[in-house]
Each structure stands twice: as structure tokens, then as C-alpha cells.
Structure 1
């Protein structure tokens, strides 16, 4: 029975321990280097980059030339080494026009006489648009109504952390529902909905934080007393009471006017009767004097 004996991995290969963050649409360098005890010829150098999980080929170099026959189609025309640095032990990979699908673990394999390998993690990030907060419904609001506040931001990656607060800084994040929709590029549109019980003169803010970029987006909405319509039922009750009061005042004014008129007429009649009585008495006295 023949056994294939492979050399033990004696070569040290170095890659970043922390994840490498690349901006969507930009270029990123996946750093990899190695050290050997003796000088070597580039024709003896083999470099192979592959996806750790799927083993798909990302970039190959052997016998002094790039070897891209087996390269995965998604990486075509987007990868390159640094030829002038290879002799110095620099086998870093330049990945251009980064997309969300590039995210994952990459293994750097190097061989001269001995061989070694190491893996690093690539994370992709994209900035979100400035968030916008809207109110639903926008009209016919009454104190005590349940109102949905919606915070929307577009074109970002990965999922952002969302923090809702009221005007006093109280965290309202427990009352939210957040959804993600990816576009054809894998970038997210984030929609976060906060449901609150309406109070006049209240401020609500939405803050989005991109965990990879550390970027924050902020938007807020203030609901003032002017935004809250008078309750329809109370409005009609008030109108009805006002009409009733007006009718009552008109009726009262009419009654008072009639009473005053009647009083005046009665006073005139009393005046006439008194004048007639005085006239009769005086005439009788005058006649007695003449007799």
C-alpha cells in the first residue's frame, strides 16, 4: 500500500485577526504575508486564495504567473496580487468593486518549499440614507389615539440597530416592529414602526446605527396641539349646545321685550286712569265752590 506523504506545514502565514470591513462598491485589500528562512525564486512560489466554506477559487498564482482558469466567475476581472511584493513575502489580494455577496471567510494558501495557510473574515458595509419619520394617520387625530410612527432608510448594509426615544429620552424600542427588504444588490431598505398612544406636544426620534461603520442617522417628529383635530363627537355636541344657547337667548330676549312692553303699556293705562280720576274730583270741587 502506497501512502502519499505531504510536507508538514512549517511556513508561518499571517492574516488580520479582526474582520476586514469593505465598503460596498469600493476596493479592499485582504492582507496576507509569509516568512521563509532562505531566499526563494518566484517560480517556486504558489499562492492560492479561496473561499473557506465553499472552496471556490478566488485567485491563483503559480510558476511566476496568475492562474485563473479555475477562478469562480463572480470574481472575474476583480482580483489581483501585488507582483512587486511577492518576493518580499506579501501575498495580499486586492478585491475590486466589492459586493454584498463577497462577504465571508477567505483562506490564503502559500507554498514555497513548505506550505502554510490562514483564513480571514471579510465583512461588507454600506451607508444608509438619512432616515425619514412619517405619521399615520396624519389628520383627524385625537388624544388617546394609537398612532403608528414609521422610520425608513434605504441602501444600507448590514442591518442597522434602531433606537426610538421620546422627547424625554425614554427608550421606546420594546414597542417597535422592524422589517428588512433587500434589493438586487443585496442592500437593505429598513422600515421600523413604533406604535404610541397620542399625546399633544410630544416628540419622537428614530436613530439608526450601522454596526460596522459606526455611522448614525437621525430623524424626529413633533406632534403639537395644532396637529390634533378636535374630536368629531365633541365638535358636534359643542355646535349643538351653541345653537341651543343662541335659540334660548333669542327666546329669552323676546320674552323680556314682550314683558317690558306689557309693563310699559300697563303703566300708561294706569297713568291715564289716575289722570281721569284726578280730573273728576277737581271738577266736582270747583262746582261746589261756585254754588
Structure 2
């Protein structure tokens, strides 16, 4: 009996275990390295990169040259290896001008007598613009009104986390509505709307966090007493009360003036009567009992005159 044994030796490849994060519109290196115990010629090295899921050709190198005839069109003029480092076991791929569509899993194949493959994950990130917060409506606000605060940031990727807080740091995220819209490049515009009941001198903040790049931006709005119009009903009530008070003061002043005038005229009459009695006494030489009132009457006459 003849038995045959077949041994297949696999080439050990090393790729990053964690996802590789690339900035949108920048270049990124997808690292792939190998080691081979026996000396080899570069002409014996073959390197092939492809998309893991669709198996589309990203870059192929063999026989000492790039073989790009069947390369996927969207990778044209955007990929290259490092041929002078292949002898050192470097089969890494340089991907230029990264776009959102490049995100995904890439498999590196290397053959040097033996064969090996390994896959890595590429994630794309783009920073969002600084958030901007607007108020709707902006005028004719009254305490107790519902106000919509809108926080907008654009040009980012992937979808960010939006956190709303008040001045005390309380999380208001339960009261928000967030929408995400992608542009032709796949970058997002995020719009988050927070609805609050208006209170004077209140501050609300919007924080947008990119999960791949960390905290990106922060914006806040403060609603002060200057932003809040006086309630129309209360305004008319206040004006009415002011007019009534003014009329009341004018009427009171007129009554007081009339009373003072009547008092002065009465005092003047009494003073004149006292004077006549004095003149009569001086003529007759007889004292008159009414003269005891003459001094107060004279004093009143001076006061009113």
C-alpha cells in the first residue's frame, strides 16, 4: 500500500487588528507585512489587494510589475505598492484621496513560493463644521412660549452624536429631533432641533461628537430678557392702569386746589369781618368780644394771601 501526504505551507501575514481610520480626501496606508524564512527573488513575489466583500480588484503586482488591467475603475491612479520594500516583507498599499465609498474590508494576498492572506477594515472619517445654533422665532417672544432651537453642522462623517444641555448641565437629548442628509460625496449634514419652554436668561448648548475623531464642535445660545418681548395683554393692562392713575391724580389735585381756595376765601372773609369790628371799636371806644378771633384771622389772611 502506497500512502501520500500533502503538506501546504501558508505564508503568515500581519495586518492591523483594529480598524484603520482615514481622513476624507487624505492618503492612507493599509499595512500588510510578511516574513519568509528562505531567500527569494522579487520576481517571485505576487501581491494582490481586493475588496473582501465584492472581490473587486484594488491592486495587483506580479513578475516585478503592476498588473492593473482588471483594476476597479474607481481605484484608477489612486493605488500603489512599495516595490523597493517588498524584499523586506512590506506588501502595504497606499490609497490616495480617500472617499467615503472606500470604507470597507480589504484583503491582502501575498505569494512567495508559499501563499497567505489577511483582511483589515478601513473606516473613513471627516470632521464636521463648527455647529451653529439658531432660534425660531427670533422675536416677539414671551415667557412660556415654545421655542425651537436648531443646531446644524455639515461636511462630516460618520453620523455624529448630538448632545443638548441647559446651563446646569442637564441632558435635554430626549426632547430633540435629529436628521441626517448626505451630499454627493457621502458627507453628512446633521440638523438637530430642540424644543423648549421659554424662560428668560436661559442658556442651551449643542455638542456634536464624531465617534471616530472624538469631540468635534460646541455651540450655545443664551436667551436674555432683551430677546423677550413684553406680553401684549400685560402691556395694554399696564398702559390702562397708568392712564387711570394719571387721571386720578389730576382729579385729586383739582379737588385739593378747590378746597384750598375755598378755605382761603373763608379765612379772608373772617379777617375782613375782624378788621371791621376793630374799626368799629376804635370809633365807639367800646371793646368787642369778637376781637379774640382777630389774630387767627389775620394769620390766615397772611397765609392765603
TM-score normalized by the length of structure 1: 0.88
Instruction: Quote the offset at 1:85 in angstroms.
Output: 1.1
Cα deviation, 1:66-102, whole Å, max 9, x if unaligned, reads 1111111111000000001112221110000111111
Instruction: Quote the offset at 1:191 in angstroms.
Output: 1.5
Provide the residue aligned with 1:289 in structure 2: none
Instruction: Quote the offset at 1:219 in angstroms.
Output: 1.4
Rounded Cα–Cα distance in structure 2 between residues aligned with 1:220 and 1:57: 48
Instruction: Quote the offset at 1:274 in angstroms.
Output: 6.2
Instruction: Quote the offset at 1:244 in angstroms.
Output: 1.1
Matched, 1:56 2:48: no
Matched, 1:227 2:227: yes
Provide the residue aligned with 1:145 in structure 2: 145
Given that residues 127 and 216 in structure 2 are in contact (C-alpha distance below 8 angstroms), is that contact kept between their aligned partners in structure 1? no
Given that residues 175 and 194 in structure 1 are in contact (C-alpha distance below 8 angstroms), is that contact kept between their aligned partners in structure 2? yes
Q: Secondary structure at the match of 1:87?
A: helix
Given that residues 30 and 95 in structure 2 are in contact (C-alpha distance below 8 angstroms), is that contact kept between their aligned partners in structure 1? yes
Provide the residue aligned with 2:301 in structure 1: none
Q: Secondary structure at the match of 2:255?
A: helix
Cα deviation, 1:206-231, whole Å, max 9, x if unaligned, reads 11222111243111222222322221
**Alignment gaps of 5+ in structure 1:** 1-5, 287-291
Cα deviation, 1:81-133, whole Å, max 9, x if unaligned, reads 00011122211100001111111111111223232211110011111122222
Rounded Cα–Cα distance in structure 2 between residues aligned with 1:28 and 1:91: 14
Instruction: Quote the offset at 1:175 in angstroms.
Output: 1.6
Instruction: Quote the offset at 1:40 in angstroms.
Output: 2.2
Q: 1:245 to 1:9 in 2, by over 3 A?
A: farther
Given that residues 127 and 215 in structure 1 are in contact (C-alpha distance below 8 angstroms), is that contact kept between their aligned partners in structure 2? no
Q: How many residue pairs get matched?
A: 281
Provide the residue aligned with 1:170 in structure 2: 170
Bigger radius of gyration among the two: 2
Provide the residue aligned with 1:203 in structure 2: 203
**Alignment gaps of 5+ in structure 2:** 1-5, 287-305
Provide the residue aligned with 2:154 in structure 1: 154
RMSD: 2.3
Q: 1:15 to 1:269 in 2, by over 3 A?
A: same
TM-score normalized by the length of structure 2: 0.84
